[in-house]
Structure 1
Amino acid sequence: MFAVWLKLITILCLSYTALTGPDSGVVWKDFGGSVTIQCRPPEPEQDSLTLKKGLSEDIDVFNKDSVSDKNTIAEQFKYRLQSNGKFPSVDILIKNLTSDDTGPYWCCYSKFDQKTASVIHKKGTGSVLLVVLLVVSGTEPAPKQCDTSSDKNLVVVSVVISAAVLLGIVIGFFIWITLKTKTLRNTVKPRRATTNDVYEDMRGTLRR
């Protein structure tokens, strides 16, 4: 359970700064509920609308163009996504929400520019960060804010672990120095004292 909330906090903190538009924000929904994303174009004339999901916008949830009435819906959202409104202003309804639906959703528009002969991509208004709450019976819903208490606990644990590792390194260093010093002392051989015994014997012989 802690890992789930840690992942949720990470998504919130990374995504919230990107959703700074006046019509953007965090939307909290219960498990099994529904959400309506109101996509509005940055300019009146647009060729297509794509609702993207993810921090890197790697999932195309819904696509609609100005020519045909055909909608393209991602497999995981089929049978629970509906669109209403006249293109390019489209309201997208997602029903039967699950925890996998949590994440940022972006209203992305594209238009072919004849002057530059290229496709111009722009974000419209209505992008949201969806958070699906899994409410367990007998417990209260999580607070609807980016709580930093878990982050503080992680920081404290990291500091304690780092201090313990550093202390172990210091103790190991002192032990190594002590053993090294003892080894050097044991390897030093004592010097032999020079004597003049042979010289004295020779002097005694000469006197005789």
Structure 2
Amino acid sequence: MSSVCLKIMTILCLSGTATSDPGSSGVVLKEIGRDVTIQCRNPQKDQESLALKKGLNMEFDVFFNRHDSKKVTIAMDFRGRLQYNGLFPNIDILIKNVTSKDTDTYWCVYNKFGTPVTKNGEGSILLVVTEPPRDSLVPRPPCDQSNNNNNYMILVLVVIGAAVLLGIIICLLVWIITKTKSLRSAKKPRRVATNDVYEEMRGTIRL
């Protein structure tokens, strides 16, 4: 922990606070498995090579490129997960799938052949790789999926039951209405008028 604090203090003193501008220097926090881009920018002209060095004392070469050659050199530990983009001297270096071992200081170092002086370019960073949040590491219990399936089945059954009940009610209402209309439309029996009174009156008149 003390070494990390020392690195943070060192790079802050040498490079200033972190910013989001291209080629800026500062502390970069990344979770394990994420990617980080180091944007190396040349502060002076007439530089002939760029080396991305790792370590507080720049003791480990991660990446090397000469301006007069398209060939680059990548350290064994970073092969397969390091990509670069751009033209010398302004090159963006992408490190994929960072691990806790990648936590360190990274320097963009430019060199002019024939002179012993090297220049620290813009873009040097202190990379701090952290563990992801605990919530993202805990897998969801399998019962959650089964509970969701059970809730879905219950909902489907309720909907089907409601639809069947509604269909029965509609059929019953249609049957009642049809039956009522049929009873109303049935013909009532007619009363046949008798002529008994008329015949009796005729017989009385004859007498």
The normalised TM-score by structure 1 is: 0.58
Q: Is the 8 A contact 1:21 1:125 kept in 2?
A: no
Pick closer, same or farther for the CA change 1:7–1:134 going to 2, 3 Å.
farther
Match of 2:15 in 1: 19
Q: 1:134 aligns with which of 122, 125, 131?
A: 131
Q: Match of 1:118?
A: 115
Check whether the contact 2:17–2:27 (CA below 8 A) recurs between aligned residues.
Answer: no
Matching of residues 1-208 of structure 1 within 5 Å: 5-20=1-16, 23-112=24-113, 117-138=114-135
Read off the aligned partner of 2:12 and give its amino acid letter: Y
Task: Return the alpha-carbon distance in structure 1 between the equivalents of residues 116 and 2 of structure 2.
Answer: 39
Deviation at 1:7, TM superposition (A): 4.4
- AA aligned to 2:86 is G
Number of corresponding residues = 132
Render the CA deviation track for 1:165-200: whole Å, top value 9, x for unaligned.
Answer: xxxxxxxxxxxxxxxxxxxxxxxxxxxxxxxxxxxx
Could you tell me which runs of 5 or more consecutive residues in structure 2 were left unpaired when the two chains were aligned: 19-23, 137-207
Q: 1: CA distance between counterparts of 2:11 and 2:115? A: 29
SS at the partner of 1:50? strand
Between the aligned partners of 2:108 and 2:121, the Cα distance in structure 1 is 5
1:12, 1:65 → 2: CA distance?
30
TM-score (ref. length: structure 2): 0.58
Q: In structure 1, how many angstroms separate the alpha carbons of the residues matched to 2:120 and 2:103?
A: 20
| TM-aligned CA deviation for residue 103 of structure 1 | 1.1
Q: Which has the larger radius of gyration?
A: 2
**1:45 deviation in Å?**
2.4
CA contact (8 A) 1:34 1:93 kept: yes
User: C-alpha root-mean-square deviation of aligned residues, in Å?
Assistant: 2.2
Q: Structure 1, unaligned stretches of length 5 or more?
A: 140-208
Does the CA contact (< 8 Å) of 2:51 and 2:108 recur in 1? yes
The AA in structure 1 aligned to 2:123 is G
Rounded to whole Å, the distance in 2 between the matches of 1:89 and 1:46 is 11
SS in 2 for 1:13: helix
> Shift in Å at residue 6 of structure 1?
4.7
Measure, in 1, the Cα distance between the counterparts of 2:108 and 2:66. 13
